[in-house]
Structure 1
């Protein structure tokens, strides 16, 4: 007989005897043992005959003796290799998606410019850098107007003459002031106009006459002080500011494109009598309202920014 080991039948091979003693072994394995283990031939002949019903119940796990063990092991190894391959492919796919995404962004970009278009390649490499922020600076008006009667020119204790026109509020000198008559009510205003729409970032004022004469006469304490104003802009917006009673400039931040700024006085407090260095007493001077400085900070709007729309003109407030 022949088998998977290609052993031919030996002249002295007794197949009937071998099968009788080892009925559970296939004939090809018995033949292999007969060829390769001559020392077992006599042992095989001396073994008692195995009952067929007992041999049929024997379960083999030795691959050399179980004819199906090799095929089972091959199937298991095939499944293990397939499972490992699937794990490797899955991990590779997850890594690719983490780095490259699902491609939806590229599809949107390609929908506008084909990948082969050189413009698309060059534009992807361009990095846009935002320009540095423009620093705000004081804005000088080109025209000034008020709704109240300007105070008469005055002379201080050193015989220096002062004029109280609106421009004195924008001369960067706290010893000068814009002054107008106050007739038992607030509501006085001053309007500054610009020659082009301007981005205004803050507005502020020194809310009184911040001057002390050479003889010690404190004009800030003696005159009426402003405690609240309303800032109005040509786009129709406005902002109110509570002003501390101080000689320092008090400012409030804004963010508006406008070609004019109007300051409306909404509240004031009266001055008090003062005494100079010589002991001379002077009465409070409450018939006028004064502003030593007005500061408007901003920048010209970027190119392409249109002028702000101005509100409809309204009747001037009555002082």
Structure 2
């Protein structure tokens, strides 16, 4: 029989002493191993000596027991590839670094482009604007770019001695008094504002041509940009300038290719524009913009009463 070491009471099958409550598991534990708590001291592992490193065994190459084919070599040879890092390192600088001849060629190309740009900038023709009764932009000049043309000493009106050609002409009509009226191109050069050339509809984009009496120097151009005629009917005045369409802007073109644009006002008077002077044998007049006819009693015609060509 086992007795409780604390109180000496006989122990039974219970896990604790029924007399003092001491755990039966504490029976037989040496006194020097006992603690004042229910926990046991941690077990410390025994020190282990370091393990000596072991060298890996050398690789062993085994020859095949027998050749697979009759002409196969039975000996096995292992080749180690040569390092490529050094060769790639030595070849890369030549690919990254361009040679000085290429740099020199690029410099020559850049210099040539700059020189061409400066030459074109210096060769640009000057533009000028001038006029009375209208505004315009002029590119008219001499016979060669940059070469001036001397103006005539006594410029005169050249329209009467010139010839006009029109792209279209409206058919004749009767005025308020029953008189027959024609609208031919020659009416623009007769010096009479009450006559006119006219065409049916909108004349925008159409071009008239005036042949001068020879190779002359022109200093001024102009036109009356509508039908300037006034009629009286039963005590009332009819203004055909207001009822018909009006030319709002034109472009004058000369034989050397130079041009002058002119913006026109709403007036029955002649609107002139100074040009050049420019040497030419003909002048082309292009209608850039034309107004709509009057909203009340409007006439769907594009007319020009007079054209002025001054030079000598």
TM-score where L is the length of structure 1: 0.47
* TM-score between the two structures when normalised by the length of structure 2: 0.48
Rg larger in 1 or in 2?
2
Higher RCO by CA contacts (8 Å cutoff, separation 6 or greater): 2
Q: Name the one with the larger helix percent.
A: 1
